[in-house]
């Protein structure tokens, strides 16, 4: 799906559907996203309003689960959700093991603070 690759930001189902201009129906898009996710190509990002977004994975593959300890930044000005390269290390109590992280930071993106 070239559309996802062309975007630097995470896109929602609705945005994809809109961009494809009705070329694919909801179910098809959903199925493609699901298989991309299983193949380690995209990962899910839940924005604070509960809308699921999808972003390209950098270095995930089939074998290991999606381990994204990077920040997702949501700009409250232009409403974009981006993957930032900033890695976050969590200090969890002994005995706890992370299987999934969902870090969302809100603020203004570089473009909007200019």
Does 105 bind Zn ion (CB under 5 A)? Our answer is: no
Choose among 43, 53, 57: nearest CA to 75. Answer: 53
Does 66 bind Zn ion (CB under 5 A)? Our answer is: yes
Choose among 46, 87, 95, 94: nearest CA to 67. Answer: 87
Neighbouring CB atoms inside 10 A of 11's CB total: 24
- Report in angstroms how near the CB of residue 25 gets to Zn ion at its nearest: 25
- Compute how many residues bind Zn ion; rule: CB under 5 A: 11
Does 11 bind Zn ion (CB under 5 A)? Our answer is: no
Among 35, 77, 86, 88, binds Zn ion (CB under 5 A): 77
């Amino acid at each position: 799906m070239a559309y996802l690759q062309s975007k630097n930001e995470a896109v929602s189902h609705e945005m994809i559907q809109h961009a494809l201009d009705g070329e694919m129906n909801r179910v098809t898009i959903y199925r493609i996203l699901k298989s991309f996710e299983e193949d380690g190509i995209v990962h899910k990002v839940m924005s604070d309003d509960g809308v699921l977004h999808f972003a390209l994975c950098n270095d995930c593959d089939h074998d290991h689960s999606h381990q994204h300890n990077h920040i997702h930044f949501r700009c409250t000005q232009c409403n974009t959700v981006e993957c930032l390269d900033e890695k976050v290390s969590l200090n969890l109590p002994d005995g706890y093991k992370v299987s999934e992280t969902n870090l969302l930071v809100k603020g203004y993106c570089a473009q909007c603070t200019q």
